[in-house]
Structure 1
Amino acid sequence: MTVHTAQTAGAERAGAADGLPWIEDAGRIAPQDARQLSKLFFDRLRVLEEGTAEYQYARNTLIEMNLSLVRFAAGRFRNRGSGDMEDIVQVGTIGLIKAIDRFDLTREVEFTSFAVPYIVGEIKRFFRDTTWSVHVPRRLQELRVDLAKAKEALAAGLDRDPTVRELAEHLGIPEEEVAEGIVAANGYTAGSLDMPADTGDQVGRAAGRRTYADVLGEPDAAMEAVENLHTLAPLLGELDARERRIIDMRFGQEMTQARIGEELGISQMHVSRLLNRILGKLRSGMFTED
């Protein structure tokens, strides 16, 4: 490790404070050296004026020297299956900075012991806020963790999965809140529609390539017909008796225009004109906005 005093390096270099060593690359300092140097830098940081070049040099050097703590803590979350390691390290660095700004040498606590909980807490917060597939309130996110722990503890003693009532009694909360937490927990992960689906039928097994998208329901064309009928009903009520009779004969009894003409004593062409007029009236009523 190569260090220079502030006097020899020049006080103007990155604002190195009087009495602190000038460190060319603080990120390459070994962890055991960083622990000793951190005490010196924290001691000077207490008396330096915030915002000055000297203060920034001391603070930035402390951050760089202790990045190994962030990498160590981030390694515990390597297999969480969500989030790039670079993102996790960046989030952990925020925790390190918070620890540096709040650390007090007079507590006689090692900085490593003080900083790691801050770093881990920031990373856990990152996972809690970003890994939910569906946004749910923070209260329910935390309840999910409590429910998971309660289920594990109760299942060990009961030799079965606990009921909602047993979970509620164990956690001291209402059953409704437990049920809400269980439902919200379903938003923690989401599966792809292209995942294989176990349909349980012979066709599905024979195909061997059916996905959830293949077995999900599709839009029901009949639903549109139902909506149209509900819209059409009051419009039919506005027709006179003759118009309703023509509509009934043509679409209810499925009579031809010639047969309708015979029933009414009019020509087929007249029936056609009447039908066009009636249908135009109904069509106009269906598409007229309120």
Structure 2
Amino acid sequence: MEDHLNCIYRVISFIEKNYDQPVSVKELEDISHYSYRNIQRIFKYSCGETIGAFQQRLKVENAYKRILYTHESLTSIAIEVGFANIASFSKAFKQHFGISPKAAKLSKEKLLCEEMIIPVTSDILLEPEIIYLKPLQVYYQSVKTYYNNEEIEVLWEKFMKNEFPEPGTEYYGVIADEPLIRTEINCRYDACASEPSALKKLPSKTILGGRYARFIHTGSYQTIDETYTKIYSRWILNSDLEFSHTPIIEKYERHAAHEDGEKEQLTYILVPLR
């Protein structure tokens, strides 16, 4: 089972890096160490969709993010995410989201998914710090969730049993799917550590790299939706900055000490910029 899981992680990571390029049978077999027929079967069983459907979904979802967060033309977006022409892009986009790319571009606010987990209302405008972060290799485990705090907590309890080196290890959460545009309930969240496990070999990948708008959330993770509400309802749609389609990343600081000696959790929310 663990071999199958690591195989799926490798394939997902590869497709995410190369979603806009044709992926050959040989590449999939080399990465997964399975025959093409077997890796397709394992992937469909584990992820609920075929590899081809997964890659197509990444194309249109990354296009959706570019429409929402950049000023690029629809033709440029179509080519950048791997479609041969605007016609094939428009057809795939409308099949997936039920709206044409042109209509989406004309009314960005309507792109916000009706089933998103956060309400788009807030009177508070947050001001982030703009920072540059170097690429970082991390070791990770994933869970499919609807940004459910209990499921994420269970993942972290399991993840931390891997016994990472202390001190020195940094911990991150990668929100692999954009919560504003996700069309399915099950999304993917990755628990990540900057150092390898002392107990078993975990899959690894590179995160960060580039400019980020860094927001600060203080308090428990149970209330982090409130901070996301302020970011999405006021800052993202009104900012003059352009945003990258790469995932939002959370960096978890252990505690932030108060003057009275009490401690509370501190989380950095890192929104990628172009």
Shared fold (TM-score, shorter chain, > 0.5): no
* Structure with the larger RCO, 1 or 2 (CA within 8 Å, 6+ apart): 2
User: TM-score of the superposition, structure 2-length normalised?
Assistant: 0.21
User: TM-score of the superposition, structure 1-length normalised?
Assistant: 0.20
User: Which structure's residues are more often strand, by fraction?
Assistant: 2
Q: Max radius of gyration: which structure?
A: 1
User: Which structure's residues are more often helix, by fraction?
Assistant: 1
